[in-house]
Amino acid sequence: MISLSAPEVPVPAPAEPGRTVTPTEHRAAAVDRAATAGPLAVLGVPGKVNLDYAATAPCARAAADAVAELLPWYGSVHRGAGALSRRSTLAYERARQCVADFLGVRPDDSVVFTRNTTDALNLLARSLPPGCRVVTFASEHHANLLPWPAGTVRLPVPGSAAEAVRAVDAALRELRRGSGGGAPVLVAVTGASNVTGECWPVAELARVAHRHGARIALDAAQLAPHAVLDIATLAVDYVAVSGHKLYAPFGIGVLAGRADWLDAAAPYLAGGGATLAVGAATHDVRWVDGSARHEAGTPNLLGAVALAAVCTALGEADRAALYAREQSLLARLRSGLAALPDVLELRTFDDAAPRVGIVSFVVAGRDSAAVATELARRWQLGLRDGLFCAHPLARRLLAEAAARSGRRDLPPTALRASIGLGSTPAHVDRLLTALATLG
């Protein structure tokens, strides 16, 4: 049975006699309500605590309501003349506009619906112009590591944001020198690490890339759910996101960005909806330009509409306050973990680097999978264990944690706790108590 999880929706504490509730307390309570009630309330099962938002965030009420409202009108998209089909087509294209507004795309950018971030980055990889070189980091999620062509420059994991900027600068200078400056280049980086939550210096990297005549693609799978992301302000050329990490259901993602490479590329999927005209001869096909070129087949209408509903709800919310709320939960989590003698946090940058609500750690002397199982069984806590589809980074950070701490009993994989809308201090405290009393 699915129900809205709102067991801990806070209300302003009743003023003790002689004390009135302060404006700050009122605002904090309003922000808590925005994060745990209303359109941004998340669905869940009472008693089960999801601390795995980085893998898949729970579905927001805005998404569930949008789907329920559209279901009776469910019809073919871009195919039929009937009322249901026309309404579905309109809903699909409106969804594209909502997502475009949420991401702050430029007027001539393409917004292509994909299955997820992996799909979006694979689409971009298939759309690179001939001879394009790619520069990325070894610290990327596999989705931003594996799709790129042979000859991709994989920079070592940097020790700081400034080092990342210097490394990209040097790599781009080298590529320019090697190619005489003519070949297209794409820098592909994450906005926030799915392992450490650390934020990358995206705007600075974009400036450096553009100074060298390169483009930059942002893997925003982990950044977009937590922080305001504006393509035009960051001046990135492409952004990839996943709906299921943004409080919408599975199966929908987005690649947004410069239209020219996408329009010049072969369609990602060959089939109906991507064509202008098809002749009798095998290769006699004219393809459309724009988003439809890469969206052949019947599209995921419900996914697009659900994602758009969350984008609209987030767009109308006080994002700065939601960010501050999450940061306060994150600080509670990190300081609680730091106080546990056998727990070591994994990090790439220094302790004070900006982060979103993701923390990976190990419990010395304990197998991470066994700890995750105990947390689930005894405490109803859902965390992830493993190497988080970022094997090179996770292995390196585990080795660094061992070297830093001098401990020889660290496990070969890690645990990850990640939070978002719907997370509460009680969830964080339950994890900390559970870790303090591991069986």
* Catalytic positions: 389
Tokens, residue 71: 């279901």
Q: How far is the CB of 143 from ligand PMP (least distance, A)?
A: 4
Q: How far is the CB of 19 from ligand PMP (least distance, A)?
A: 44
Q: How far is the CB of 305 from ligand PMP (least distance, A)?
A: 18
Q: Which residues in 301-420 belong to E strands, given as ranges? A: 343-345, 358-363, 381-382, 384-386, 414-418
Closer Cβ to ligand PMP, 36 or 348, answer by number: 348
Q: Does 418 bind ligand PMP (CB under 6 A)?
A: no
Cβ partners under 8 Å of residue 150, min gap 6: none
Binds ligand PMP by CB under 6 A, chosen from 139, 196, 222, 312? 222
Closer Cβ to ligand PMP, 89 or 118, answer by number: 118
- Only one of the segments 112-120, 158-166, 262-270, 305-313 lies at the binding site for ligand PMP (rule: CB under 6 A); that segment is 112-120
Q: How far is the CB of 202 from ligand PMP (least distance, A)?
A: 13
Q: Which of residues 130-159 bind ligand PMP (CB under 6 A)?
A: 141, 143-144
Q: Does 389 bind ligand PMP (CB under 6 A)?
A: yes
Binds ligand PMP by CB under 6 A, chosen from 221, 224, 234, 432? 221
Closer Cβ to ligand PMP, 138 or 438, answer by number: 138
- Only one of the segments 114-122, 157-165, 337-345, 375-383 lies at the binding site for ligand PMP (rule: CB under 6 A); that segment is 114-122
Tokens, residue 79: 């195919």
381-382/343-345 β-pairing: unpaired
Q: Which residue has the tokens 């005489």?
A: 180
Q: Does 393 bind ligand PMP (CB under 6 A)?
A: no
Closer Cβ to ligand PMP, 116 or 300, answer by number: 116
Cβ partners under 8 Å of residue 361, min gap 6: 337, 343, 344, 345, 346, 414, 415, 416, 417
Helix or strand holding residue 276 (H, E): strand 275-278
Q: Does 117 bind ligand PMP (CB under 6 A)?
A: yes
Closer Cβ to ligand PMP, 136 or 424, answer by number: 136
Q: How far is the CB of 243 from ligand PMP (least distance, A)?
A: 8
Q: Does 116 bind ligand PMP (CB under 6 A)?
A: yes
**Exposed, middle or buried by CB within 10 Å (0-12, 13-18, 19+), for 143?**
buried
Residue nearest to ligand PMP (CB): 194
Contact call for residues 405 and 316 (beta carbons, < 8 A):
no
288 backbone φψ class: left, alpha, beta (φ>0; ψ -120 to 50): beta
Binds ligand PMP by CB under 6 A, chosen from 36, 118, 196, 423? 118
Smallest Cα–Cα separation from 50: which of 411, 306, 436, 416? 416
Q: How far is the CB of 278 from ligand PMP (least distance, A)?
A: 31
Q: Does 194 bind ligand PMP (CB under 6 A)?
A: yes
d(CA 175, CA 27): 51
Closer Cβ to ligand PMP, 121 or 343, answer by number: 121
Closer Cβ to ligand PMP, 5 or 222, answer by number: 222
Q: Please tell me the count of residues contacting ligand PMP according to CB under 6 A.
A: 15
Q: Which of residues 232-261 bind ligand PMP (CB under 6 A)?
A: 242, 244
d(CA 353, CA 347): 9
Tell me how crowded residue 383 is: count the other CB atoms within 10 A of its CB: 23
Cβ partners under 8 Å of residue 426, min gap 6: 8
Cβ partners under 8 Å of residue 242, min gap 6: 116, 117, 118, 221, 252, 253
Q: How far is the CB of 360 from ligand PMP (least distance, A)?
A: 12
- Only one of the segments 10-18, 215-223, 331-339, 373-381 lies at the binding site for ligand PMP (rule: CB under 6 A); that segment is 215-223
49-50/381-382 β-pairing: parallel
d(CA 13, CA 327): 21
Closer Cβ to ligand PMP, 88 or 139, answer by number: 139
Strands across the sheet with 215-219, in order?
110-114, 253-257, 238-242, 215-219, 185-190, 133-137, 153-155
Which residue ranges make up the site for ligand PMP (CB under 6 A)?
Answer: 54, 116-118, 141, 143-144, 190, 194, 219, 221-222, 242, 244, 389
